[in-house]
Structure 1
């Protein structure tokens, strides 16, 4: 009745007509369609509810065009309304009075085209050629003459290589050289893409892909936006595929060192782009400026190593150009021969020249030349000279600079005040800004030039004290009551980082538990961040008996959590290695509960490796221990795992027994998350027994709870299971809908195993629909992931199905 009422309120001819429409639509109605229909039945005047229903009807009829002809209705639209509708600004257009199914199909095609145009237009606004740095004629002449040899060398190198790295200390002119190359590019190369990491320090993978897609006018690269998911490897693969198909273009990434930590990428998503550009064949030339050589996760350099010519390392400016720089920056009253002495004294190094300008203004040219003469006699290299100039210029504010240098990235004014001492002059911040030693955006955000930060941190004697002051600063921040993403807990992550740098590892561990970081990051699928956090609490060699923590039991616990994080990333062998090391520690300390947890973790990985009998051995050992320590919640989780193992052995009735025992404990201990998982597992077992309607009820209950909890991995898992159930019911299109939802979440949270499973399921269901090419494409993607993570179940499924399909094609 609820659907009949909804159709009546949308304007159907009455109960009979609504019932006739319902009979045709309901077998293909998605979960989201049902929800939208229910909302309209409750309040027919709710514009948001009507909009949602209209979208669902469009989606249903677009996927099932024959249905539009069967249900005999029309859409009351004019051209202006269609245009509005295409971009989401529309009113109530549906009218079930007059039959015209064919007309509707034409409108659907038109709307699709309008939507594509709207999306493309939005993407085109994401990149503007004016992003290129300003390059006035005077600077152009200056660089072209002074850097002619470097420019020729760089252009020659690009003829035979994909990636050019321009390196050198901060302020040496890397960005300017890259900008000069733009004007000297081959005539067939369009104006290059330019992305400055210095100006976009918080950029993520999606931000960069959007800008590149806009530059290339290739909206397919950012399909993740329309699908409302986080970008991942498949999106990067689309980028390199597009670069392979096109003629040569240049991609310039400026100041990459801004986002590097100890030569490694701090953001794994951005690393995906550079790894793909490094190893895949394409027609792009990539120019990177960076103070340091970037190293990828596999330990290899970002650039080819060929006869030491893989990078362009910049030296100082020639004497006449260095003199011109000094004269043009306020020293034009100084005698030319004195300017030459100054320029020669620092070997034309741009940053040193900048420091010289401030020193001459403050101390006079005579005093500065005497200093340079002294440095010259000691044969100091350029960087050492720049450092000594910095020391003198910093003066009494140097202590503050040293303390500020502990912060990574920008910090607010309160962060600066936290590192003040009783000796810090009141006007220190203003004076440092005036001397160009402290950078600011004039909006309560401050940071240091990379080389200034390096000098300052090197000289900081009491690093531990300064890092502890930073801990104090970040602990002042209050976290939201219910944080929903990583950015909301950034202050806690920074506090943990500084505690580790201060070698206060027990405090760092306490910060993790105090802010519940493991549960939150695991819930959101941020396994990489969890691994980074845990690794800071371990010695360099994770598998030795040494510990940084006073409590060896907690050390073992962290090893076990690292194993779980690697498991979530689809790395079972790494997970086993960490879990076995954790087991060794907890047995040594006599912590029976943690011993049980370690045994469970090892069992989980053997389950992932397709060894259910070995899995059960570990689980049964763990169950005895956990019952002995009366840990009901852990016991319940383990009973659920035993159910999974018996399910893998096709012992569904036995699996149900374990799931029901576990579910009773979950309700007793009010463990909602576990309850959600267990309801879904019961759904799997009943689906295996052919009781599909019962299975669907369990899956829907599970998804509802897991969404409520924000448990993305659990939601993803049971969306996929719901797809399995609808496939079993002979509803392949509905199965595809759920598989795609699950796939989007798996990519968003980096769940490789889930991604492989959902791709394989999509391959199988498209095979059912006799769409062979689609099926083969999905199965091949799934197989590649299965081999990467060594999942025998994915491999067996895909290889068997591909053999059938390719045999049929042959």
Structure 2
């Protein structure tokens, strides 16, 4: 705003309040902001009205630290006679001088002058509807609101509610992008904030690259001051995520370990655990939970994963105080055919569109195309329907090929009536140029990588400074802290064109294999490098390499230990043919094939599906006998016994335990023998045959002491105590 106009407006706000504020001269101003504010609130409300008094209060709070002798003199003069036009003119000149000397102060008081502070404070505590009763804020005004809310959050940092949450990892959001989104999506921000006033679940939908994630990120800055930094989960970067992964992260975020109690109990989470989450959300004050790129886990609008569907059904139907913000290309549907949203608007309102023409033109002009005539800029923005990614590509295309050439391309696309995504695709193809090969190779990565990961994808054809060029062309994203990734749409375009997918995935496999896992992993995330290596080996169709990762990195044991059987199942299933039992195996090593089947059996057993586990154990047993693997033959017999025991088929279990015991003794497997004896003792105990049970348990206890296994010793001693006590 022009400083002259700002000075005039400031004078108009201050003059009515000055007789009250400056009754005691400068000494009153020196008593501090709180005293100054109290005086206005006490004396000015009645005479000036709440809105005028609050504006004067805030304006004086901003100016007070900068008041010099000449401004003090002008203030005193007006406070003595508010009707003195010469005094008011002098005051205006002094304020103008102050603003020109302090540009930052000018911006601060512009915010104060232009807004109804009472309404902004209502927004700050979540009363969005009251806030939007006055004229719709512009983009620039939203920036000022964000600054004000940030200031209020700083003041409220020690509030108890904010201390009950751990920080969340929000997506990289550079200041330039923040300014752009906030300024050019003001109408959408107002709409969605108003929607959140009365609804628990907000969906930002629309075609790829239209800016759903950045708009969700912009909403974060406008959240109420007593709402902590939101929980943000990106499904595109966590494509293998299971319900347990989400609950574990939410438990850490909310500092509520009981939500992840399934981990300590070594089981998969279910309805009980989801109910714990929604119960906690009901007990607490408002928080925001953002699920980004939900369409990644949808198939024909429905959730592909049963457990994750359970989570979203609970968030949809149960009572709680969370605001759930989701982004998705398509509208998610639940099993009963109802929408994830409690209110579904018509399609036109539901989808996020491209930028309005004036905003899109302004974007192009402010990104190096200010010399292009406005009419041509309008043609360019219309040609790509205001699509944000397409606009970014246009900027670089025009710099490289010129306006005329680019307009001709767009004209050709218009004639063929291509949709927006196809237009963006053609712009990408042209802009990628000689770096296209590198983009195609990088597109195999599912998550951000470091510069080493990028360089692994270099070929003899990769141009010098290609990374910098791709960043400059807006085709490669970076957080400027050593992490690089592709925009999801750019990744999609690039991967489609990648000719040698298997070979490139093998390069990615070798890259991840070269990275060191933590020495003492304690959670699934610590194994992510190995999980990524496994995924790339499978996509390279190097299945034996992928299986080796599971076995050598001890992933099967650790995931089982931490209660992640679903993750292990997903990894193992990639190593088997479509029909796990009838089709030709894709693993060359039969022993590894048997181990994979055995791990699947264990995982399904831990999920409480013993019948399914038995199918895998029987196939694994068949392979062990075929290749003469006596140790694993014993293991599979032991597994089959345990599965039948769970089903209550005790006699059947004993048959398998006896066969396993025979093999353990033949191959001198003392630990296996110990387990088999203990299993037999336990089984006979359940049948009420105490004498046999005691006989087997005593043998197991003796071996347990010999091999110094405290778990077996403890189990046997406890069981014997119970049995011998009952005999008495």
SS in 2 for 1:406: coil
The separation in 2 between residues aligned to 1:528 and 1:656, in whole angstroms, is: 38
Query: Which structure 2 residues correspond to residues 459-474 of structure 1 after superposition, within 5 A?
Result: 459-474=497-512
SS in 2 for 1:197: strand
SS in 2 for 1:657: helix
State whether structure 2 residue 537 is matched by structure 1 residue 499. Answer: yes
Distance 1:170 1:552, change over 3 A: same
Distance 1:484 1:661, change over 3 A: farther
Quote how far apart the aligned CAs of 1:365 are.
1.1
The separation in 2 between residues aligned to 1:662 and 1:380, in whole angstroms, is: 74
Are the aligned partners of 1:170 and 1:351 in contact in 2 as well (CA < 8 Å)?
A: no
State whether structure 2 residue 366 is matched by structure 1 residue 328. Answer: yes
State whether structure 2 residue 723 is matched by structure 1 residue 689. Answer: yes
State whether structure 2 residue 476 is matched by structure 1 residue 438. Answer: yes
Query: Which structure 2 residues correspond to residues 264-279 of structure 1 after superposition, within 5 A?
Result: 273-279=311-317
Q: Which residue of 1 aligns with 2:570?
A: 532
Distance 1:551 1:181, change over 3 A: closer
Are the aligned partners of 1:472 and 1:495 in contact in 2 as well (CA < 8 Å)?
A: yes
The separation in 1 between residues aligned to 2:684 and 2:496, in whole angstroms, is: 58
The separation in 2 between residues aligned to 1:174 and 1:460, in whole angstroms, is: 27
Are the aligned partners of 1:175 and 1:254 in contact in 2 as well (CA < 8 Å)?
A: no
Q: Which residue of 1 aligns with 2:231?
A: 195
Distance 1:525 1:683, change over 3 A: farther
Query: Which structure 2 residues correspond to residues 105-254 of structure 1 after superposition, within 5 A?
Result: 123-124=163-164, 126=166, 142-145=184-187, 151=191, 163-175=201-213, 178=216, 194-197=230-233, 205-209=247-251, 211=253, 213=254, 221=256, 236-244=274-282, 251-254=288-291
Quote how far apart the aligned CAs of 1:511 are.
2.2
The separation in 2 between residues aligned to 1:593 and 1:319, in whole angstroms, is: 72
Q: Which residue of 1 aligns with 2:426?
A: 388
Q: Which residue of 1 aligns with 2:39?
A: none
Are the aligned partners of 2:262 and 2:273 in contact in 1 as well (CA < 8 Å)?
A: no
State whether structure 2 residue 684 is matched by structure 1 residue 646. Answer: yes
Query: Which structure 2 residues correspond to residues 510-521 of structure 1 after superposition, within 5 A?
Result: 510-521=548-559
Match of 1:377 among 415, 420, 426: 415
Are the aligned partners of 2:508 and 2:536 in contact in 1 as well (CA < 8 Å)?
A: yes
The separation in 2 between residues aligned to 1:300 and 1:629, in whole angstroms, is: 57
Deviations 1:542-573 (A, max 9, x none): 34434221244533432221111122233323
Match of 2:604 among 562, 566, 573: 566
The separation in 2 between residues aligned to 1:515 and 1:414, in whole angstroms, is: 22
The separation in 1 between residues aligned to 2:323 and 2:357, in whole angstroms, is: 32
Distance 1:290 1:581, change over 3 A: same
Are the aligned partners of 1:166 and 1:289 in contact in 2 as well (CA < 8 Å)?
A: yes
Q: Which residue of 2 aligns with 1:773?
A: none
The separation in 1 between residues aligned to 2:195 and 2:530, in whole angstroms, is: 48
Are the aligned partners of 1:639 and 1:659 in contact in 2 as well (CA < 8 Å)?
A: yes
State whether structure 2 residue 644 is matched by structure 1 residue 606. Answer: yes
Distance 1:477 1:132, change over 3 A: closer
Deviations 1:728-774 (A, max 9, x none): xxxxxxxxxxxxxxxxxxxxxxxxxxxxxxxxxxxxxxxxxxxxxxx
Q: Which residue of 1 aligns with 2:377?
A: 339
The separation in 1 between residues aligned to 2:566 and 2:360, in whole angstroms, is: 46
Q: Which residue of 1 aligns with 2:513?
A: 475
Q: Which TM-score applies when normalising by structure 1?
A: 0.59
State whether structure 2 residue 444 is matched by structure 1 residue 406. Answer: yes
The separation in 1 between residues aligned to 2:289 and 2:171, in whole angstroms, is: 11
SS in 1 for 2:350: strand
Larger radius of gyration: 2
Q: Which TM-score applies when normalising by structure 2?
A: 0.65
The separation in 2 between residues aligned to 1:501 and 1:293, in whole angstroms, is: 29
The separation in 1 between residues aligned to 2:163 and 2:465, in whole angstroms, is: 46
Distance 1:631 1:294, change over 3 A: farther
The separation in 2 between residues aligned to 1:416 and 1:317, in whole angstroms, is: 32
Deviations 1:361-420 (A, max 9, x none): 222111211222232333322111111111221111111111111111111221112121
Match of 2:403 among 365, 373, 388: 365
RMSD: 4.6
State whether structure 2 residue 386 is matched by structure 1 residue 348. Answer: yes
SS in 1 for 2:417: coil
Are the aligned partners of 2:506 and 2:540 in contact in 1 as well (CA < 8 Å)?
A: yes
Quote how far apart the aligned CAs of 1:290 are.
3.0
Q: Which residue of 1 aligns with 2:350?
A: 312
Distance 1:417 1:272, change over 3 A: farther
The separation in 2 between residues aligned to 1:366 and 1:685, in whole angstroms, is: 87
Quote how far apart the aligned CAs of 1:492 are.
2.3
Distance 1:557 1:242, change over 3 A: closer
Q: Which residue of 2 aligns with 1:680?
A: 714
The separation in 2 between residues aligned to 1:480 and 1:283, in whole angstroms, is: 38
Give the gaps of 5 or more residues in structure 2.
1-157, 239-244
Are the aligned partners of 1:480 and 1:488 in contact in 2 as well (CA < 8 Å)?
A: yes
